[in-house]
Amino acid sequence: MKFQINRYVYLLVFLGVLCSGCAALPARQKPLPVLKDPAGYFQDIIKKTHAIHDVSGYVKLKITANGKTSTSRNVFFVRRPDMLRIETLGFLSRPALFFTADSKSMSLYTIENNTFYSGETTVENVQRIIGMRLELREVILSFLGEPPLADCTRKKIACSQDKNQYLFTIACEGAKQLIWIDPAAGTITGYKLYENTYPVYEYAFSNFQHVAGRLFPLKIDIHHYTNTTDITLEFESISFDPISDERFSMHLPPGAASLGIEELGMPQ
């Protein structure tokens, strides 16, 4: 009887180990439908994102650079391809800072110091404002919910599967772009750029919601490898209504000191 009990105990332990090992095995990845025309599918997704022309609303910006983190709540107005206005809100949600930019010039006005800064639109001046070395085009596309896809004349497009998403790899001269697309929603969820095999930056798009008949990512995370900088955009409200030209104009306020944006200095 003693031998019989030990044998049954051993058998139960063996079965328990076996079952626990089976439970730990990952579920098999279901293959996605093979795309007959990957390049055409990709272009259709891009066309959907380009359908947004004007966008405005409230956004919370979190910027981490050089070990320091700043968070602000902002009113923003964006028009494709190069018009931007941001009003940073301070105490009691009153405007504390105004920033406008287009492809040629940019201006910054701080109410507390009554100082008006202006200068050319360059990556250096954008970095002086937000602490991250980006072109204005890249900033605007972020507010439009898009990655800053780099265009090139000669490119090779390959499509594979990463978990439950399509992963497009676009190889250009000296650069490689990775784009993740959710086939169920037809949305871009991730983007990563390499230049000469080195990562430059990556984007993550999440919390998609239907806004005026469009799926829009209400959260965008950006990580810049070169400058080790992170930016998070969390949209509180979104509108795609047309924006008047006056929204993007800003002039020297009466009595304000006028300085060049270079006077702000470069973030350390």
Per-residue pLDDT of the chain (268 residues; tens, 9 = 90+): 333 434 443 333 333 333 333 333 344 678 898 899 999 999 999 999 899 999 999 999 999 887 889 999 999 999 999 999 999 999 888 999 999 999 999 999 999 999 999 999 999 999 898 877 889 999 999 999 999 998 777 789 999 999 999 999 999 888 999 999 999 999 999 999 999 999 999 999 999 999 998 999 999 999 999 878 899 999 999 999 999 999 999 999 999 999 999 999 887 6
Q: How many CA atoms lie within 13 A of 102 on its CB side?
A: 8
pLDDT at residue number 21: 37
In a domain, 61, yes or no: yes
What is the model's pLDDT at position 109? 96
Asked whether residue 178 is domain-assigned, the answer is yes
- pLDDT of amino acid 30: 82
Residue 7 lies in a domain: no
Domain assignment present for 237? yes
Residue 33 lies in a domain: no
Structural domains of the chain, count: 1
Cα dihedral: 128, 129, 135, 138 (round 10): 150
Query: DSSP string covering the chain, please?
Result: -HHHHHHHHHHHHHHHHHHHHHHHSPPPPPPPPPPS-HHHHHHHHHHHHTT--EEEEEEEEEEEETTEEEEEEEEEEEETTTEEEEEEE-GGG-EEEEEEE-SSEEEEEETTTTEEEEEE--HHHHHHHHSS---HHHHHHHHTT---PPP-SS-EEEEEEETTEEEEEEEETTEEEEEEEETTTTEEEEEEEEETTEEEEEEEEEEEEEETTEEEEEEEEEEETTTTEEEEEEEEEEE-S---GGGG---PPTT-EEEEGGGG----
In this structure, are strands 156-162 and 115-120 parallel, antiparallel, or unpaired? unpaired
pLDDT of residue 15: 33
Task: Give me the CATH number covering residue 52.
Answer: 2.50.20.10
Pick from 115, 79, 77, 258: nearest CA to 87: 77
Host domain of residue 78: 38-242+256-264
In a domain, 28, yes or no: no
Q: What is the pLDDT of residue 252?
A: 92
